[in-house]
Structures are given as structure tokens and as C-alpha cells.
Amino acid sequence: MTGETVEIRSVPVTSLHRTLLDLCAWTPSVEALVVIDMAVRMRLVSTDELRDYAKGRAGAARLRSLAAIQNSLVRAGYHILRFTSADIYGRPHVVAAAVRGYLSGR
């Protein structure tokens, strides 16, 4: 399909959109959600771009269900704190401080 690959340093690789969609199809939901969230927060991709790309492709249903899960949690009153694996494994004190800060402000 057109737009499935790009070249980085003369090496063909799957596009960011394709890679994120593949993660939805092949990794546990939480891991896929974390990676997609990081890409969106870094402004590498928007949720609208991903949704448009995913229409009719394998993994699209999983992408929609991940977004629906997150939206349901927010509507139910949950506050979502986002951390990268580098935060959790490399700076757990930062993660703990953020959680404590959120809980103390409630």
C-alpha cells in the first residue's frame, strides 16, 4: 500500500502510522496505548491522522477500542497520568512524586 514505508538514512522502514497500527494488532493493549500516546504527545502524529490512516486496515478496530477505553476512563472521572517506560524504569522516583502530587491535590 502507498505510504506504508519511508526511508530513514537510506534504509526502508515502515511509516510511523503503519508501525503504530501494527502495534495495535500485535502487542498488549496497554503497551500499544502507551506508545501511541507518546507519539501523539510528542506531536509526531495526531489522533485524527491515525484514525484516517487506520480506516479499513488490520488493527483499526483495536486502535478504536484503545481510544474508547481511555475516553471511558476519563468520562468516569479517572485522571490518567502518562509515563514512559524510561520514566518507570529509569526514574521511578519521578513517577512516584507525580502520583503523590496528584493524590495530594485531590
List pLDDT tens digits, range 67-94: 778 788 888 888 888 887 778 888 889 9
Which three cell numbers mark 36?
Answer: 501511541
Strand ranges in the chain using DSSP code E only, listed in sequence order: 5-8, 11-14
Cβ atoms of 15 and 61 within 8 Å: the answer is: no
Q: How far apart are CA 6 and CA 8, in angstroms?
A: 7
List pLDDT tens digits, range 13-57: 888 888 888 887 778 878 888 888 889 889 998 888 887 887 767
Count the neighbouring beta carbons within 10 Å of the beta carbon of residue 49.
14
- 3-state helix, strand, coil split of the chain in percent (to 5) is 65, 10, 30
pLDDT at position 70: 78
Sequential DSSP letters for 59-87: THHHHHHHHHHHHHHHHTT-------HHH
pLDDT at position 59: 60
pLDDT at position 77: 85
Q: Indicate the Cα dihedral angle 37, 28, 2, 13, nearest 10°.
A: 80
pLDDT at position 27: 80
- In this model, does residue 1 exceed pLDDT 80? no
More confident residue, 63 or 20: 20
